[in-house]
Chain A
Amino acid sequence: MVLITKAPDVFAVSDMSSYGTHILGSAAQIPIGEGRRFEIGGMAIAVFRSRQGRVYATQAECPHRAGPLADGLLGGEALVCPLHNFRFDVGTGEPLGNDCPALRTYPVSVNEAGEILVAISGS
């Protein structure tokens, strides 16, 4: 099973140690339908496993008031922040019904061994 979400928006990574493709360990670490936070080099991302069998990766903190997105609620393609219920499209990062900036998203997939692969790039 290899599912890839949409290509990421281009952004700058402040810490060069996070560049590249990373293996975050087995997908089973994340309970189905939930998200967890991962730290890669100097940056944090939130990775989600949906009930539909997809994986998604976004920035870890909500642009509104830094809510922990990994603790959010996932429904279809909508990710709801746990603090004030702002919604985002978890695939594209676009805000849904609010005027927050979009979330950064990262290409993420699960390899044959069931491990999460995430690509961090920058420009």
Chain B
Amino acid sequence: MLGIETSCDETSAALLVGERSRPELASLVILSQDVHRVFGGVVPELASRAHLAALPAVVERALVEAGVGWHAVDAVAVTAGPGLVGALLVGVVYAKALAYAGDRALIGVNHLEGHLFAPLVEDPQLEPPFVALLVSGGHTLLLDVPAWGRYRLLGATRDDAAGEAFDKVATLLGLGYPGGPEIERLAATGDPTRFTFPRPMRDAGFEFSFSGLKTAVLHAVRGSDDLERDRPHLARAFQDAVLDVLVTKLERAIQATGYRIALLGGGVACSRALAELAARRLAGCARVAVASPRLNADNAAMIARAGWYRLALGERSDWTLDARADLPLPGLEPATLPDLTPHP
């Protein structure tokens, strides 16, 4: 199975090989488009151009590293959404051409479902039920996963995604893009008691909101008489606030479901601080399943793994597969609404 991922600013290809139920990762190539750093965020048109230029070489390298030729590829899985539509289109059309030319099965994969399958690449024993916290620059979702392919949305962000908040606060602090790694690096030297930021919506429900927290950081930055001195402490306080909110909601979801596994996925799950805090707070209740950083960032291995699952169910995409910026998670069941109270 060849996986292809181009939903944002990583051009990635991966090969999974093996028996039907136990695929193994044979290769994973990820090219990060560093050009976006100068803009402080991803420029969709530049990302799309870079994907088109880079894809053939990335796929070729994935084949070489896996030690297989085209004849060994039976199927192609590609991210069909959600993501930047121009970037997605390049991957989708290129993948369709590869599948068509070799008479291979084609499967379009939801990027978020890919993140759910990422830990499975390294931990084949992983099985639902679990609670999943998907946190990236584009999404913040808390999901109840009773079985593979069945997802119940517990909560999502009302405004900024957690990764987006990291990027924006990094800009406020004069740090580079992407913001998460920069803030985590700086926060490691920060004093957690120097600043305290609010924990928005921490104590209620499963939804998230980070825009107010970002504003609080803005006020603190403006109020600082020595930003050079305060920068690590501000980074630490911000990171502590975000992680506290994320992990508190994760804990609450574990308590509500009674599940014994909490899965972390998405680019923000590359944060060691998040994984460590979750493991500490959930100790004795649930184990934390988290993939290694290269499988938490946007990558094609997770797309191939989710595609492998979908193909095993007998699903196929046809040649009219298209990209969708807002592709909904397949198998997403509506949240259970509370009963209405009728007036007497």
Say if A and B assemble together.
no
Point out residues on B near A: beta carbons under 8 Å: none
